[in-house]
């Protein structure tokens, strides 16, 4: 097995990293520089709206340092899930940023953009052909789900990256991808076996998250015959067997089995050992190839328009009966809204009581333990923004002034930290597609465009 060296700059492009870290990482030797640019973690808003997760300024700063280092070293840059969600608007923002940086910094390179947004007609045809399956805890996909989605993307594996690199691209900007794909692609193209290639991607997708102390920073990985060696370039951080083992558990239903496009990464027999006072090695991973290549598809649907307000109370009598009180508020809002001719089915009213069960809701094991103060987030999602604003204003007034048994205060029940108190949030989205499709091959869903970028 050949040795291969990879540098990940950050968990998501735009999160930031110390400039000195990328310099140290390059000095350790690099065959590629990469970054996972997105995730479903921030929810469906960015996929549905077409907006980027991080600011243009933050992404440009990170990308400039990566491009400068890559051109100087003559190595490729691969970035997956561009813009956060990996749709066409996100990919175009990243492509334009890349061109802008090249002009300003005097850089020249061949760039590939790999498209991940899917044609609805193609998805419908796959559904009709029985080539779409549900993921765990997800209902069957329907034609209405497809048609009502604002955007549907496929999560590409490493093959489109490898094709772009084989075609001579030095900078590869990709739409929605599986998180390890930008790194696994370069390693496999460098004659590394799939198992350590995929595992290195798992370690690099969140950059320095596998190091301690935690913080957004770079991570360097060297793949050798005997395993995957992880070491943060920042001298203030270290990788230990425990920190790497902890990182290997994140974001998966199974601690040992990771389904990826085209196969399964099995870490059941992995060994974690220190190789220096700052680096640790992982070995023993296995890869098995699937008989049928599969790709996860993600879609976001507009579910209405959101408005919120935030308030808090320190009244021990109200806190002791907060669940019942919010039930009274809900009924009061329904009555007042109906009096204005508002159909109750045209909106949803939700309360999150922080200090009681605001984080875990019904799963909170300590919900009966009283807090000395309670923060309440009031949320309305309605068919229009005007309706959401209207219902929220009724909910805010009701939460503030409604009576309750034993009430002693003569004025408002709640303290509001902001004026205006009501916050108009705009369109609200939900994931409408979260399924698996079976393409004819790994490249079918992901067309590639090439461009010579000159300073």
For 378-395, the pLDDT digits (tens) are: 999 999 999 999 999 999
Looking at the fold, whether 36 and 179 belong to one and the same domain comes out as yes
Q: Identify which has the larger pLDDT, 2 or 439.
A: 439
Report the chain's mean pLDDT, rounded to a whole number.
96
Give the lowest-confidence range in 191-200, 251-260, 353-362: 251-260
Tell whether omega for the bond before 292 is within 30 degrees of 0, i.e. cis.
no
Domain-embedded: residue 219:
yes
Measure the CA–CA gap between 195 and 180, rounded to whole angstroms. 12
Q: Is the pTM of this model over 0.75?
A: yes
The answer, yes or no, to whether residue 453 has pLDDT greater than 80, is: yes
Domain-embedded: residue 146:
no
Q: What angle do CA 96, 101, 106 make, to 5 degrees?
A: 130
Residue 211: predicted pLDDT: 97
Measure the CA–CA gap between 52 and 46, rounded to whole angstroms. 6
Looking at the structure of the chain, the number of domains it has is 2
Give how far the C-alpha of residue 221 lies from the chain's centroid of Cα atoms, to the nearest Å: 22
Looking at the fold, whether 167 and 200 belong to one and the same domain comes out as yes
Looking at the fold, whether 20 and 61 belong to one and the same domain comes out as yes
Question: What's the full length of the chain, in residues?
Answer: 455
- pLDDT over 70, % of the chain: 100
pLDDT, average across residues 303-324: 96
Looking at the fold, whether 329 and 384 belong to one and the same domain comes out as yes
Looking at the fold, whether 12 and 160 belong to one and the same domain comes out as yes
Residue 225: predicted pLDDT: 87
Measure the CA–CA gap between 178 and 38, rounded to whole angstroms. 9
pLDDT, average across residues 29-50: 96
pLDDT, average across residues 288-302: 97
Domain-embedded: residue 148:
no
Looking at the fold, whether 374 and 276 belong to one and the same domain comes out as no
Domain-embedded: residue 126:
no
pLDDT, average across residues 260-281: 97
Among the listed residues 447, 413, 5, the one whose alpha carbon sits nearest the alpha carbon of residue 187:
5
Looking at the fold, whether 266 and 400 belong to one and the same domain comes out as no
The answer, yes or no, to whether residue 455 has pLDDT greater than 80, is: no
Domain-embedded: residue 139:
no
Looking at the fold, whether 280 and 322 belong to one and the same domain comes out as no
The answer, yes or no, to whether residue 1 has pLDDT greater than 60, is: no
Domain-embedded: residue 69:
yes
Q: Cβ distance 82 to 51 under 8 Å?
A: no
Looking at the fold, whether 317 and 284 belong to one and the same domain comes out as no
pLDDT digits (tens, 9 = 90+) for 419-436: 999 999 999 999 999 999
CATH classification at residue 400: 3.30.70
Domain-embedded: residue 229:
yes
174: domain range? 4-116+155-294+438-453
Looking at the fold, whether 238 and 352 belong to one and the same domain comes out as no
Q: Cβ distance 126 to 438 under 8 Å?
A: yes
Looking at the fold, whether 26 and 48 belong to one and the same domain comes out as yes
Domain-embedded: residue 369:
yes
pLDDT digits (tens, 9 = 90+) for 114-170: 999 999 999 999 999 999 999 988 999 999 999 999 999 999 999 999 999 999 999
Neighbouring residues of 360: CB distance < 8 A, sequence distance ≥ 6? none
Looking at the fold, whether 342 and 196 belong to one and the same domain comes out as no
């Amino acid at each position: 097995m050949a040795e291969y060296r990879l540098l990940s700059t950050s968990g998501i492009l735009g999160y930031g990293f110390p400039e000195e870290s990328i310099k140290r990482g390059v000095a350790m030797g690099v065959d590629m520089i990469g970054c996972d640019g997105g995730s479903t973690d921030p929810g469906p808003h960015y996929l549905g709206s077409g907006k980027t997760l991080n600011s243009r300024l933050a992404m440009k700063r990170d990308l400039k340092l990566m491009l400068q280092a890559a051109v100087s070293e003559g190595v490729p840059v691969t970035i997956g899930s561009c813009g956060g969600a990996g749709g066409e608007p996100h990919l175009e923002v990243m492509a334009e940023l890349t061109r802008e940086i090249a002009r300003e910094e005097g850089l020249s390179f061949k760039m590939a953009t790999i498209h991940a947004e899917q044609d609805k007609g193609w998805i419908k045809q796959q559904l009709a052909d029985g080539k779409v399956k549900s993921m765990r805890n997800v209902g069957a996909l329907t034609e209405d789900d497809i048609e009502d989605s604002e955007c549907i993307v496929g999560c590409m594996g490493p093959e489109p990256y490898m094709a772009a690199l084989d075609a001579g691209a030095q900078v590869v900007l990709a739409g929605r991808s599986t998180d390890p794909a930008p790194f696994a692609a370069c390693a496999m193209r460098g004659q590394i076996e799939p198992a350590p290639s995929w595992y290195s991607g798992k370690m690099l997708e969140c950059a320095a998250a596998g190091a301690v102390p935690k913080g957004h920073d770079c991570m360097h990985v060297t793949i050798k015959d005997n395993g995957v060696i992880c070491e943060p370039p920042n001298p203030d951080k270290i990788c230990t067997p425990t920190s790497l083992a902890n990182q290997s558990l994140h974001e998966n239903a199974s601690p040992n089995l990771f389904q990826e496009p085209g196969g399964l990464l099995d870490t059941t027999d992995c060994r974690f050992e220190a190789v220096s006072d700052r680096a640790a090695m992982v070995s023993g991973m296995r890869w098995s190839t699937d008989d049928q290549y599969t790709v996860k598809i993600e879609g976001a649907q507009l579910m209405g328009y959101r408005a919120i307000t935030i308030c808090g109370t320190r009244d021990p009598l109200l806190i002791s009966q907060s669940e019942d009180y919010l039930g009274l508020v809900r009924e009061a809002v329904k009555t007042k809204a109906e009096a204005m001719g508002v159909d109750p089915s045209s909106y949803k009213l939700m309360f999150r009581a922080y200090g009681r069960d605001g984080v875990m809701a019904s799963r909170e094991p300590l919900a009966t333990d009283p807090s000395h103060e309670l923060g309440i987030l009031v949320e309305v999602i309605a068919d229009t923004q005007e309706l959401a604003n209207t219902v929220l204003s009724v909910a805010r007034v009701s939460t503030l002034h409604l009576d309750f048994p034993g009430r002693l205060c003569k004025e408002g029940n709640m303290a509001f930290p902001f004026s205006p108190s009501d916050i108009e949030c705009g369109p609200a989205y939900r994931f409408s597609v979260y399924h698996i499709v079976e393409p004819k091959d790994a490249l079918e869903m992901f067309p590639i465009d090439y461009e010579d970028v000159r300073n």
